[in-house]
Amino acid sequence: MRRGLAIAFVLAGLAAPAGWIVTDRLERDDDFCNACHLEPGLPLHEQVRRDYDARPPTTLAGAHGREGDFRCIDCHGGTSWLGRARVKLLAGKDAFWYLTGHFEEPDGMRWPLWDEDCAKCHESFAAQPADQSWRAPRFHELAVHNVELGVDCVSCHLVHDAGGSDESHFVHPEPVRQQCARCHPEFEATL
């Protein structure tokens, strides 16, 4: 019995890093992700992909994918070691249920993106780029808003929700008002 457990433990120890490496390669292709998430009758990701491919973009994700430089995994892959492990854990669980025929497509994100996932590309919102190709939203022009306020990026910038625009940085009024009201009581009246 002990020998069998030891062998299983060693095999798991070898399989885990190999699985990590293999899935890292597979995740680079959006079509790999879509193979599970875009089956007919699964409305969440079907709509997400349609919005992602829309031109002009109708979502923040679509704006990121406009040039074809971004893949699903670029935002949904986790940034730190802990973030990557979190994604791998969820992906492994989903893969298990998919392979056993019991996978249920989620109707929303179970684990929202962390700010570090956004900050890996958007380091400082207050600073303007040298080429002035975009302007930081007025919210981020105030230094106090660029400190830890307990408001996640995805609390205001709804990545896959249609209805925003490039000009508004794909923020949606209702969640923004809710976040503003946390520090500014005058926004409570507009809710």
Q: What is the pLDDT of residues 109-135, one digit of tens each?
A: 777 888 888 888 876 655 555 555 555
Q: Computed from CA positions of residues 73, 167, 169, 133, in that sequence, does the dihedral angle turn out positive or negative?
A: positive
Q: Which residue has the tokens 């798991």?
A: 12
The pLDDT of residue 136 is 56
Task: Provide the domain limits for residue 46.
Answer: 2-190
The pLDDT of residue 171 is 82
pTM here is 0.69
The pLDDT of residue 62 is 83
Positions in the chain short of pLDDT 50: none
The pLDDT of residue 67 is 63
The pLDDT of residue 46 is 73
The pLDDT of residue 18 is 79
**Sequence-ordered list of residues with C-beta below 8 angstroms from that of 25, at least 6 positions apart, any chain:** none
Task: Please report the DSSP string for 55-98 in residue order.
Answer: SS-SSHHHHHHTTS---HHHHHS-SSHHHHHHHHHHHHHHHHHH
Number of domains in the chain: 1
Structure tokens at 41: 């009758």
